[in-house]
């Protein structure tokens, strides 16, 4: 039930509105009345009403002054102002303050009831929206953090969205840590928690520790990762080691209480929120070598031994290009990119063979991590590659193994693509066989059915069948038409309709072009 109060210095009006209107029938509780704005404000703070009916002209504090205070403290309250003066300035001021309604005295009860009912309806509507927003805030925060770590927020967007979500980023230093359950690499369905519950439990453990220390934020990413975003004020003298200690506590707590293990990758410490995406990328790189140095531990990017010169940024771009070339099955192009990566590494004078091996394996991990390529690789293949690289004694030998791996995957992608294309064309032909009688059957219709673009369907159809789509559709229709014309009881126009032609003359033209004779002549010969 909504609460309403009446504020007016005229006692007759207060009593009249209190007793002549049956507020309870409107599902409204009359929570009290006051004779001036000052007492009205005290009543408002005491009862917290949803709707306020107030006179503009009152002693001590008038209705406009009261409205200004109420709107600043309780913006959700609906205010209906009354006045005996039909003055434009009052109305302008009231509208400027966004009062719900403005009524002239003497106020007709029905007009007041209408205003109150509309105010109540609007309050309920606003309340429902607020509830929906509150329900959606966790999702909005998740999207915000997801875009933050991936560098998809401009500084302006970052500031606006953080303020809207009531997130405080008044810190001096930020660092990203990625937690990955080691069970994900195994048959996660066999874990006693199940995959989603396991992520939820790990996130809870991390959240409890980070909240206790007031050290930042915890959220889940779309990559089955739990992200800890450390955020601190003050000097960075011991922040790196503090982050390590807290992350180690999370790892140990997960092992102790959840009876499972996680590996953590730690990025560098940065002085700007916009650089969180760099720290996330650092943490990714650190986490990816868990296959080499072992799981169930905290791996800092500083401990990986990877080259950290500006050239490493160029190498990351080259690795992404390499992955794309392998996915496209471009074996020669992939080999050229690998040569560039090798040259970049060798140009770093202080680099060791061990660092080259780690970087080579990181490159392999990035390729294997691609969703399309992952299907072509068994975990044993990666383990075998790791063992081979560890045994190599020169940089050339290391990259020879990576080149062989890239070549095998590129060829496998080509074979897989060929197989997929054949299957798509088969599905397209089956669809044509079942729908040739549709007059307006088009390339777009068939493409929609097999979920690819018309241009790509046209290309692979011609490639696989050595005939274009329109000629194949014509051939299908004409073969069926020839069979039907051999049936003596069907006329030419009937056959036309059965194979997708509403215009018998056009059918006859197409038939003659395909067979060399008209439908009637063909029927006669049959």
Cβ distance 330 to 410 under 8 Å? yes
Q: How far apart are CA 305 and CA 283, in angstroms?
A: 14
Q: How far apart are CA 464 and CA 461, in angstroms?
A: 5
Same domain membership, residue 292 and residue 195: yes
- The answer, yes or no, to whether residue 77 has pLDDT greater than 70, is yes
| 119 plus 27 within the same structural domain | yes
Q: In angstroms, what CA-CA distances link 418 with 344, 426, 462, 463? A: 35, 12, 13, 10
CATH code of the domain covering residue 261: 3.30.70.270
Q: Which of 172-186, 214-228, 459-473 has the lowest mean pLDDT?
A: 172-186
Domain count, the chain: 4
Domain span holding position 298: 168-302
In a domain, 426, yes or no: no
Q: Are residues 27 and 122 both part of a single domain?
A: yes
CATH number of the domain within which 93 lies: 3.40.50.2300
Whether residue 340 contacts residue 318, with contact meaning beta carbons closer than 8 Å, is answered with yes
DSSP 3-state of 187:
coil
Distances (CA, A) of 327 to 330, 371, 380, 408, 453: 8, 10, 20, 11, 19
Per-residue model confidence (pLDDT) at position 185? 46
In the chain, % of residues over pLDDT 70: 87
| pLDDT attached to residue 374 | 62
Tell the burial category of 69 from Cβ atoms under 10 Å away from its Cβ (0-12, 13-18, 19+). Answer: middle
User: What b-and-e string marks burial along 287-318, b requiring 16 or more CB atoms within 10 Å of the CB?
Assistant: bbbbbbeeeeebbbbbebebbeeeeeeebbeb
Pairing of strands 298-300, 262-270: parallel
The pLDDT of 457-469, averaged and rounded, is 88
User: For residue 81, which of 526, 95, 69 has the smallest C-alpha distance?
Assistant: 95
**Is the same domain home to 122 and 223?**
no
In a domain, 153, yes or no: no
Residues 176 and 295 in one domain: yes
Residue 136 lies in a domain: no
155-164 and 109-149 are packed helices; what angle lies between their axes, rounded to 10 degrees? 130
417, 449, 467 — which closes off a domain? 417
The CA distance from 77 to 40, in Å, is 14
Residue with the larger pLDDT of the pair 322 and 111: 111
Check whether 349 has a pLDDT greater than 60.
Answer: no
Question: Do 108 and 49 share a domain, yes or no?
Answer: yes
Domain shared by 274 and 213, yes or no = yes
- Asked if the model's pLDDT at residue 350 lies above 60, the reply is no
In CATH, what number is assigned to the domain containing residue 446?
A: 1.10.10.60
Q: Are residues 78 and 111 in the same domain?
A: yes
Q: For residue 504, tell me if it sits in a domain.
A: yes
Q: Do 211 and 236 reside in the same domain of the chain? A: yes
Same domain, 382 and 500: no
Least confident of 35-49, 261-275, 370-384, 476-490: 370-384
The answer to whether residues 392 and 398 touch, using CB atoms and an 8 Å cutoff, is yes
Q: Tell me, what DSSP letter sits at residue 232? A: E
Structural domain contains residue 293: yes
Cβ within 8 Å of residue 5, ≥6 positions away:
30, 31, 32, 33, 34, 40, 43, 44, 47, 49, 51, 52, 53
Q: Last residue of some domain: 280, 302, 324?
A: 302
Secondary structure (3-state) at 235: coil
**Per-residue pLDDT at 308:** 46
Residue 427 lies in a domain: no
User: What is the rounded average pLDDT of the residues 360-370?
Assistant: 75
Using DSSP's 3-state secondary structure scheme, residue 177 falls into strand
Is the same domain home to 293 and 176?
yes
Contact 243, 177 (CB under 8 A): yes
Asked if residue 235 has pLDDT above 50, the reply is: yes
Q: Which range (128-132, 184-188, 400-404, 424-428) has the least confidence?
A: 184-188
The reply to whether 138 falls in a domain is no
pLDDT of residue 210: 95
- pLDDT category at 293 given cuts 50, 70, 90 is low
Q: Is residue 200 part of a domain?
A: yes
Question: 94 and 46 in one domain?
Answer: yes
Distances (CA, A) of 459 to 61, 231, 422, 445: 80, 53, 12, 16
Say yes or no to pLDDT of 313 above 50. no
């Amino acid at each position: 039930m909504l609460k309403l109060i009446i504020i007016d210095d005229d006692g007759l009006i207060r009593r009249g509105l209190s007793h002549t209107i049956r507020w309870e029938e409107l599902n409204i509780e009359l929570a009290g009345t006051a004779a001036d704005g000052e007492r009205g404000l005290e009543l408002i703070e005491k009862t917290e009403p949803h709707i306020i009916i107030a006179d503009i002209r009152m002693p001590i504090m008038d209705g406009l002054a009261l409205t200004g205070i109420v709107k600043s403290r309780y913006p959700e309250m609906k205010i209906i102002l009354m006045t005996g003066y039909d003055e434009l300035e009052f109305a302008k001021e009231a509208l400027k303050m966004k009062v719900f309604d403005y009524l002239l005295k003497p106020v007709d009860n029905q007009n007041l009831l209408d205003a109150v009912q509309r105010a109540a309806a609007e309050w309920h509507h606003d309340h429902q929206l607020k509830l929906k927003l509150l329900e959606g805030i966790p999702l909005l925060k998740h999207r915000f953090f997801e875009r933050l770590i991936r560098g998809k927020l401009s500084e302006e967007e970052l500031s606006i969205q953080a303020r809207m979500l009531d997130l405080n980023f008044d810190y001096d230093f930020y660092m990203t840590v990625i937690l990955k359950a080691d069970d994900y690499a195994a048959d996660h369905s066999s874990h006693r928690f199940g995959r989603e519950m396991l992520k939820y439990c790990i996130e809870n453990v991390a959240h409890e520790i980070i909240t206790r220390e007031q050290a930042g934020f915890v959220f889940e990413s779309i990559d089955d990762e739990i992200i800890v975003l450390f955020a601190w004020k003050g000097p960075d003298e011991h922040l790196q080691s503090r982050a390590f200690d807290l992350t180690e506590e999370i790892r140990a707590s997960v092992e102790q209480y959840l009876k499972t293990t996680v590996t953590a990758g730690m990025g560098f410490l940065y002085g700007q929120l916009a650089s969180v995406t760099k720290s996330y990328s650092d943490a990714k790189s650190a986490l990816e070598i868990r296959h080499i140095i072992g799981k169930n531990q905290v791996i800092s990017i500083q401990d990986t031994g990877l080259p950290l010169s500006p050239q490493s940024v160029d190498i990351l771009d080259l690795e992404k290009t390499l992955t794309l070339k392998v996915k496209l099955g471009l074996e020669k192009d992939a080999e050229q990119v690998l040569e560039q990566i090798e040259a970049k590494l060798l140009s770093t004078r202080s680099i060791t063979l061990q660092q080259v091996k780690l970087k080579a394996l990181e490159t392999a991990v990035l390729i294997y991590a691609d969703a399309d390529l992952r299907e072509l690789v068994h975990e044993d293949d990666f383990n075998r590659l790791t063992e081979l690289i560890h045994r190599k004694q020169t940089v050339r030998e290391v990259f020879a193994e990576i080149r062989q791996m890239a070549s095998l995957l590129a060829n496998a992608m080509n074979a897989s693509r060929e197989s997929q294309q054949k299957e798509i064309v088969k599905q397209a032909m089956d669809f044509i066989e079942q729908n040739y009688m549709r007059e307006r059957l088009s390339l777009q219709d068939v493409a929609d059915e097999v979920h690819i673009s018309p241009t790509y369907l046209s290309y692979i159809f011609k490639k696989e069948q050595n005939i274009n789509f329109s000629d194949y559709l014509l051939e299908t229709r004409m073969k069926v038409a020839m069979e039907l014309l051999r049936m003596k009881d069907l006329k030419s126009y009937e056959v036309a309709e059965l194979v997708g032609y509403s215009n018998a003359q056009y059918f006859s033209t197409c038939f003659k072009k395909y067979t060399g004779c008209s439908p009637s002549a063909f029927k006669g010969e049959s």
